[in-house]
Amino acid sequence: MKFRRLPPLHTLEAFEAAARTGAFKDAAQQLHLTPSAISHQIKALEAHLEFELFRRGNRSLELTDGGKAYLGVVRDTLSRLRSGSARVAQQYARASLKISAGPFIASEIIVPALPSFQEAHPDIDVRIDTDLRTVDLLHEDTDLALRFGNGHWKHLAADRLMRVSAVPVCTPAIARKIRRGGPSQLQDVALIHSSPMPEGWKMWADATATVLGTPKRDIWLDSYLAILRAAEQGLGLALGLVPMVNPWLKRRKLVAPWPDMLVSVPQAYYLLYRPDDLERPEVVAFRRWLKSVLKRDALLT
């Protein structure tokens, strides 16, 4: 059989994402579509090919033999198209970078220093995305990502930027109330927790031989910026991540009631990028600039 028309590109992307994630729901989330849209696109692709790509169970999605064979073709095609598009665009289009960063890193570190990058590289457009969703650098149009983790991301290059330690922080008023009594008074205040790092307080307590007891209340937030803002508003005690929290401590927006009770965190902050972009001029420029900013502000470790 000869195909006179190629299948629509968006159906190939839907098929690849569904095969990679093993679920229409996860594929839809990555492509910013609904599961129903993913399902319809794959059905359209199957109609075009005239064979089934998946065996669909109640809670399972399994590639057929034909689907497995076609997946290799689609992945190779999309990879060549992405790399070829990037190569030609790099040569003829205006240089640009899309960067994924958490709200705190973006607002407290990158954005205040960004004028110096723009002055040094006026030919590079920068777009910063502070969505808390974890982007897939291998399959989305994002070039760089700042992430907190263990340094191991499959198929990605990672520059370690900052080692991190944790110390309790709060307003000066709360610190005055609890400082003298030591950590035993933790039960008299609310503890502010990080949803992405739910074991944070337990880790700190174990490392300092502190009994947390039952706090006055627990507050859970999903971003580091929100956690520090809550502590700044006097809602309770948060774990400040040093050196990132240092500027807030210097300005007395927050204080550490027990500054000596500093605990090393196994995770660190990393800058992630695709290995193929190691020598890409825009990526090289941003990596060098970011490290110089962190070194200048005594944050690089």
d(CA 101, CA 70): 35
- Average pLDDT on 61-70 reads 93
pLDDT tens digits, one per residue of 84-124: 887 787 666 678 899 999 888 999 889 999 999 999 999 89
DSSP 133-163: SPP-TTTSS--EEEEEESS--TT-EEEEEEE
Q: How much is the pLDDT for 258?
A: 92
- CB burial of residue 205 (10 Å; 0-12, 13-18, 19+): middle
Question: What is the percent of the chain where pLDDT is above 90?
Answer: 62
Is the CATH code 3.40.50.2300 the one for domain 9-91?
no
Q: Residue ranges per domain, the chain?
A: 9-91, 100-149+271-296, 163-267
Q: What is the end-to-end Cα distance of the chain in Å, rounded?
A: 60
Question: What is the percent of the chain where pLDDT is above 70?
Answer: 96
The model's pTM: 0.68
Amino acid sitting at position 157: A
- Whether 100-149+271-296 shares its CATH topology with 163-267 is answered yes
- Domain 100-149+271-296: which CATH class? alpha beta
The segment with the largest mean pLDDT, out of 57-66, 87-96, 205-214, 232-241, is 232-241
Select the CATH number that applies to the domain covering 163-267 from these four: 1.10.3720.10, 3.20.20.10, 3.40.190.10, 1.20.120.10: 3.40.190.10
Q: How much is the pLDDT for 300?
A: 58
Give yes or no for residue 180 having a pLDDT over 90: no
Contact 13/31 with Cβ under 8 angstroms? yes
Q: State how beta strands 191-194 and 95-100 pair.
A: unpaired
pLDDT tens digits, one per residue of 117-176: 999 999 899 999 998 788 888 888 899 999 988 888 988 999 999 899 999 999 999 999
Instruction: Residue 289: name the closest of 100, 139, 115 by CA.
Output: 115
